[in-house]
Amino acid sequence: MAQDSEGPIAINEVCLPTADIVRLDQQTPVDCMHHTILVVDDDTQVRTLCRLTLEESGYLVSEATNGKNALAAIEETEFDLIVLDLSMPDTDGFEFLKGVRAKSPKPKILVISGFLGGTMLAAAKLFGAAATLAKPFSPDSLLLVVDEVLKHQGPAGSSD
């Protein structure tokens, strides 16, 4: 349902004021509107930072507070990318990596972690992560890595 430039526009059943629509001609990759991303982190601040940063660039973002909820989410929605924290209660990042690959090999996975000074990030690649990013990270760093991972056309767990 589209209205004039002063009225609301419905996008995926969500009504947004016209001023909040992302302009694709302002350094936003044209294809990012088609990418769905799941952010999985037990830290509310990190999830919010990731969601806001990615949504401002036009990505469609969902959130999960732990690996168990994330596994349930991937059964309902096909995600292009999963941004995953390694250190979480319930189902940690490594358990999630094994579980998601058993359910769906398609989504690429970006692992984020500050656990043990980020030393576990190298191991995450062995479990199928396409890329890693050490915490703390800037919004710009997140966008650079996400854009690069989504541009790559290889298998979900590869970075070549």
Q: What is the pLDDT of residues 102-146, one digit of tens each?
A: 777 789 999 998 776 566 788 888 888 999 999 899 999 999 999
Assess if residue 49 is contained within a domain: yes
pTM assigned to the model: 0.74
Instruction: Mark 30-66 as b/e (b = at least 16 C-beta within 10 Å).
Output: eebeebebbbbbbeeebbebbbebbeebbbbbbbbbb
d(CA 78, CA 73): 9
Assess if residue 88 is contained within a domain: yes
* CATH number, domain with residue 66: 3.40.50.2300
Assess if residue 13 is contained within a domain: no
Instruction: State pLDDT tens for residues 73-102.
Output: 999 999 999 999 988 877 778 888 888 877
Assess if residue 8 is contained within a domain: no
Domain total for the chain?
1
Structure tokens at 125: 């690649």
